[in-house]
Amino acid sequence: MPRKINVQDAHISEQLKVLHGALISIASAMNRPQRDAAIIKEAGIPLERALFPLLVGVEKLGPIGVVELADRTGRDYTTVSRQVAKLESLGLVQRQDGPTDRRVRIATITPKGKAMTELVDVARERMGREIFKSWEQKDMDDLIRLMRKFADALDEN
């Protein structure tokens, strides 16, 4: 039996296609190696580009297990484990056994790592202000409110 399509459903479907396209564009732009390199340069920090998203991830999401960090960054666990070890050797993160399972390695930011991510936050602020300089305050407020609402809904599902 053919499914009856509601006109409102067709409209929502089109909106979801546009939203999906916008999200792909945003994710693609945010994941470009050149963007990380630009932030590193703007922040004036001595860090390999490949380590950058992991350092920021540990600072923003940590303490975090290396497996979860790999999952959230879309990288292979063994690669992330090796890169987190490099961050640890640089004194930027610390790894320890998980509280309930010693096989799980938990990464936390160190004071040196936090100081570095604070420089990144300042650089990101300068770069973000440039992107949004022509936006009305209400548009910026709406974007932030709706993106937070969307992110929370994704976390719940």
Answer for the pair 113, 91: CB distance below 8 angstroms, yes or no. yes
What number of residues does the chain have? 157
Q: CA 106, 53, 128 angle in degrees (round to 5)?
A: 130
Where does the pLDDT of residue 87 fall: very low under 50, low under 70, confident under 90, or very high at 90 and above? Answer: very high
Q: Where are the domains of the chain?
A: 7-156
55-76 tens-digit pLDDT:
999 999 989 999 999 998 889 9
Q: Does the pTM exceed 0.85?
A: no
Question: Which residues have CB under 8 Å from 140's CB, separation 6+?
Answer: 132
Fold held by 7-156:
Arc Repressor Mutant, subunit A (1.10.10)
β-pairing, 64-65 vs 105-109, is: antiparallel
Contact between residue 62 and residue 108 where contact means Cβ atoms under 8 Å apart: yes
pLDDT at residue 112 in the model: 97
What is the rounded distance in angstroms from the CA atom of residue 35 to the CA atom of residue 20?
Answer: 21
Q: How far apart are CA 26 and CA 148, in angstroms?
A: 15
